[in-house]
A and B are shown apart, each in its own frame.
Chain A
Amino acid sequence: MKNYFKKLCLVFAVCFVFVTLLAGCSGTKEPTGGSEKDDASDTQKETEQVEEVVYKLGYFSNQYDSTYQKAIENIEKAIPGVKMELVFYPTDKDYWDNLPAHIAAGTAPDLAAMTNEKHMDFISNGLILPIDESLVDLSALYPKAVDAWKYDGKLYGIPLTAQPEAFIINMDMWEEAGLTDLPETLEDVKEAARVLTKGDVKGLCINNHEFHLTQYALAFGGGWGYGETIDTPENARAIQFLIDMYREGLAVTPKEVGLGWDGEVFAKGLCAMTTGGTWYVATLAEMAPDMNYKMIPLPKGDTYGSTLHSLAIVVLKTAKDPDVASKIAAYLVRDEVQEVAMNDAGAPPSSIAMSNAYFENNPIVKDLKPVLDYAQPFAYPKEGQKFTEALIKEFDEAIYTKDSTKTGADIVRNVQELFK
């Protein structure tokens, strides 16, 4: 044991020296996201004598690797004096959880990829800077997509994607149950669910996530109105519809069958219908390649409703020069990037021309194209996190407690309380 201990000390000493040397080499350079680019930019700096600033783009999800690599290609030519690097975060949770620390420590990126759901939190905290519209050309992009990123008259992100919401039906189950016409209203959906609910299979999957609850709210003519219109009869009716479906035993949440999200529930045939989006195409191709399914707009409640889900490039407050960053953001969403996003990540582009092509070339999502005309922003209150937690908490209490008498009206009233 004594010899072992001595050996351990020796190993430690060697490692320490080794690591110190290694660290010495990497520690003196600028903290980066890719060492080869470092060398390139260093030598370039010396030979060109041009003031070159490195901008960093933060994103998560390796699905978009190729997209963002394409995005930052040739940035030096498009915007002189700018070099770019990608900073990758393992999950979106890591990204948002670590961001404040990275900001405080000065290692945060300048730009980021973000979706238009909880972006209000960041806007209200001054984390995202408004983009000067005079600096960028948005003419080729879907107006609705651009609108999704506007708040208080200012533009806060340049959209890369424009995704309508979808209602997906397992046609194998549909036909087997003897149903013919596709549902046109949510009442039809309820009727169908009654037929389709058999044994372990439930008619409708309702993921108790704010994304899905919002779809129904919009379909009943409601909407959160950035916190102004939470407590409205329309929203109450929408939530009540969901609660009723659940209490009648026609609905299921992913969590209660041990799954992570609605896509898994649907792919495993534990539900016949669900709300979702174009991302289902890739999911089902892998998890249930033999399934026959159809994607249609969410059936009418009192009206047709859908959210416009959009991934955009935003300028963080840590950006070195916000104007330059704005121009970079516009460059990063150009057509060729959208094409990669469409092909590799399966995301409908925000450019009008490419979006048309997307829907033309993918028959399975063709019926969703008209949705883009009436899709709306999510419109969560500024304190998005607080809102979603309160909403889900209330909803969970209503559906997971056996003898709950909570109504949709109760829920929206309670949540509105927090946002007076």
Chain B
Amino acid sequence: MQKRLRIPRVLLYLLLSVISIVFLIPFFYALYTSFLPLQYVDRIVSFDKFTINNYVTLFTKFKVGRWYWNTFIMTLITVTGNVILDTMAGYALAKFRFRGRNIIFIIVLASMMVPFQLIITPMYIMIAKINWHNTMMGLTIPFLYSPIYIFMARQFFITIPKELEEAATIDGLSKAKTFFKIILPISGSIIASIVILNFTTTWNAYLVPSTFVTDRDKYVLVVGLRTVNDAHFARPNLIMAGVILTTLPVLLLFLRFQKYFVQGIATSGLKA
């Protein structure tokens, strides 16, 4: 197997590396700018002009530490909720037979077609009515599920051969037990997908946190970092430092979770 791809393999690495560099350009720009004093932004300077002042300023003059914590909690809760609720819903839609299954699936799809900006105002009014604004509840509870991950989970579970479940049923497991004991353990890659993607979108979310939370202490990272600009001029160096601070945790999470994108053991059980 190795022999056939030997020459193309080198080409492959080359291609992947070139594309990598292209993909990393904004990141490098952000990284570079985050170490510059304001007057050197957008210029090429030698390393001795570099400073970590921008990062220091963010943590001292602004409440970046606090915002990190807020974002982390919000994301943790939201992702956990999504992993549990969306896989359950997706599995039901994929593997159960029940009345209304198709309608519910269409509703899930249709829910993605409503521009979110439309409902954020009524949502805020509802949130404010129950005093959930400026609270973690308001930021998390309405978002513990997402149609897209339900959709994704459904598609994923469809590909799991039904022989697996039939075997479980024969062994006397109920449908629910089958899900928790048999299916989930081999669903590493879909769970990883939901974790990675939901973490990213929640962590980077701006619209909801900026509308629902107006208390500076309770800001989320992205919202807080918007405040580092002054009224009249932007501070790209601080902004880019903020971008790096925002991006790194997500990348670390990705690195950790993409390990689950390996061949599942779904099929090995079938041979027996």
Interface residues of A (CB under 8 A from B): 1-2, 5, 8-9, 11-12, 15-16, 19-20, 22-23, 26-28, 31-35, 60-64, 87-92, 94, 98, 100-102, 104-107, 260-261, 263-264, 268, 279, 282-283, 286-289, 345
Known contacts: A5-B184, A32-B215. The answer to whether A23 contacts B121 by CB under 8 A is no
B 62-82 binary contact with A (CB < 8 Å = 1; else 0):
000000000001001100110
Known contacts: A63-B231, A106-B128, A107-B133. The answer to whether A268 contacts B83 by CB under 8 A is no
Q: Is the CB of A63 within 8 A of B137?
A: no
- The minimal Cβ–Cβ distance linking A326 to chain B, given in whole angstroms, is 24
Contact of A107 among B39, B140, B214 (CB under 8 A): B214
- Confirm or deny: B205 has a beta carbon within 8 angstroms of a beta carbon on chain A: no
Stretch from B51-59, B102-110, B221-229 contacting the other chain:
B221-229
Q: Is the CB of B232 within 8 A of A279?
A: yes
Q: Is the CB of B42 within 8 A of A260?
A: no
Q: Is the CB of B232 within 8 A of A100?
A: no
Measured between beta carbons, the chain A residues less than 8 angstroms from B96 are none
Tell me the bound Cα distance from A91 to B235 in angstroms.
14
A-B CB proximity, top 10 nearest: A105-B128, A61-B231, A12-B80, A1-B185, A90-B226, A23-B137, A105-B125, A101-B121, A279-B232, A2-B185
- The minimal Cβ–Cβ distance linking B228 to chain A, given in whole angstroms, is 8
Tell me the bound Cα distance from A285 to B210 in angstroms.
31
B 109-129 binary contact with A (CB < 8 Å = 1; else 0):
000000000001100110111
Among A19, A288, A289, chain B packs the most CB atoms within 10 A around the CB of: A19
Contact of B121 among A16, A104, A289 (CB under 8 A): A104
What's the dominant secondary structure at chain A's contact region? Answer: helix
Q: Is the CB of A287 within 8 A of B210?
A: no
- Confirm or deny: B163 has a beta carbon within 8 angstroms of a beta carbon on chain A: no
- Confirm or deny: B211 has a beta carbon within 8 angstroms of a beta carbon on chain A: yes
Q: Is the CB of B134 within 8 A of A26?
A: yes
Q: Is the CB of B227 within 8 A of A62?
A: yes
- Confirm or deny: B27 has a beta carbon within 8 angstroms of a beta carbon on chain A: no
21 contacts between A and B (CB under 8 A): A1-B184, A1-B185, A5-B180, A5-B184, A5-B185, A19-B136, A23-B137, A26-B135, A27-B131, A27-B132, A32-B134, A63-B231, A64-B231, A98-B210, A101-B211, A104-B125, A105-B124, A264-B234, A279-B233, A282-B232, A283-B233
8 new A-B contacts at CB < 8 Å, known A20-B137, A261-B234: A1-B185, A15-B73, A27-B135, A94-B210, A100-B121, A102-B214, A286-B39, A287-B38
Known contacts: A26-B134, A31-B131. The answer to whether A91 contacts B227 by CB under 8 A is yes
- Confirm or deny: B186 has a beta carbon within 8 angstroms of a beta carbon on chain A: yes
Which residues of B, 226-249, contact A by the 8 Å Cβ criterion? Answer: 226-234
Task: Count CB-based A-B contacts (< 8 Å).
Answer: 133
Q: Is the CB of A2 within 8 A of B181?
A: yes
- Confirm or deny: B178 has a beta carbon within 8 angstroms of a beta carbon on chain A: no
Measured between beta carbons, the chain B residues less than 8 angstroms from A35 are 217
- Confirm or deny: B188 has a beta carbon within 8 angstroms of a beta carbon on chain A: yes
Known contacts: A31-B133, A62-B230. The answer to whether A107 contacts B77 by CB under 8 A is no
What's the dominant secondary structure at chain B's contact region? Answer: helix
Q: Is the CB of B134 within 8 A of A19?
A: no
Contact of A264 among B132, B180, B229, B233 (CB under 8 A): B233
- The minimal Cβ–Cβ distance linking A286 to chain B, given in whole angstroms, is 5
Tell me the bound Cα distance from A261 to B233 in angstroms.
8
Measured between beta carbons, the chain B residues less than 8 angstroms from A60 are 231
Which residues of B, 173-217, contact A by the 8 Å Cβ criterion? Answer: 180-181, 184-188, 191, 210-211, 214-217
- Confirm or deny: B84 has a beta carbon within 8 angstroms of a beta carbon on chain A: yes
Measured between beta carbons, the chain A residues less than 8 angstroms from B135 are 22-23, 26-27
- The minimal Cβ–Cβ distance linking B207 to chain A, given in whole angstroms, is 10
Interface residues of B (CB under 8 A from A): 38-39, 42, 73, 76-77, 80-81, 83-84, 120-121, 124-125, 127-137, 140, 180-181, 184-188, 191, 210-211, 214-217, 219, 223-224, 226-234
Tell me the bound Cα distance from A89 to B234 in angstroms.
16
Q: Is the CB of B232 within 8 A of A101?
A: no
Q: Is the CB of B131 within 8 A of A90?
A: no
- The minimal Cβ–Cβ distance linking A31 to chain B, given in whole angstroms, is 6
Tell me the bound Cα distance from A282 to B216 in angstroms.
25
Tell me the bound Cα distance from A223 to B128 in angstroms.
43
B227 closest partner in A (C-beta): A90
- The minimal Cβ–Cβ distance linking B190 to chain A, given in whole angstroms, is 11
Tell me the bound Cα distance from A120 to B77 in angstroms.
43
Q: Is the CB of B80 within 8 A of A101?
A: no
- The minimal Cβ–Cβ distance linking B21 to chain A, given in whole angstroms, is 21
Tell me the bound Cα distance from A2 to B227 in angstroms.
43
Known contacts: A100-B121, A261-B233. The answer to whether A19 contacts B77 by CB under 8 A is yes
- The minimal Cβ–Cβ distance linking B132 to chain A, given in whole angstroms, is 7
Measured between beta carbons, the chain A residues less than 8 angstroms from B214 are 33, 87-89, 102, 107
- The minimal Cβ–Cβ distance linking B115 to chain A, given in whole angstroms, is 15
Q: Is the CB of B184 within 8 A of A11?
A: no
Q: Is the CB of B84 within 8 A of A263?
A: no
Q: Is the CB of A8 within 8 A of B83?
A: yes
- The minimal Cβ–Cβ distance linking A218 to chain B, given in whole angstroms, is 21
Measured between beta carbons, the chain A residues less than 8 angstroms from B232 are 261, 263, 279, 282-283
Among B73, B120, B136, chain A packs the most CB atoms within 10 A around the CB of: B136
A283 closest partner in B (C-beta): B233
- The minimal Cβ–Cβ distance linking B253 to chain A, given in whole angstroms, is 14
- The minimal Cβ–Cβ distance linking A89 to chain B, given in whole angstroms, is 7
Measured between beta carbons, the chain B residues less than 8 angstroms from A345 are 231
Tell me the bound Cα distance from A47 to B112 in angstroms.
53
- The minimal Cβ–Cβ distance linking B90 to chain A, given in whole angstroms, is 15
B41 closest partner in A (C-beta): A287
Contact of A12 among B42, B81, B233, B234 (CB under 8 A): B81
Q: Is the CB of B39 within 8 A of A19?
A: no
Measured between beta carbons, the chain B residues less than 8 angstroms from A11 are 76, 80
Measured between beta carbons, the chain B residues less than 8 angstroms from A34 are 215
Measured between beta carbons, the chain A residues less than 8 angstroms from B215 are 32-34
Q: Is the CB of A22 within 8 A of B128?
A: no
Q: Is the CB of A286 within 8 A of B129?
A: no
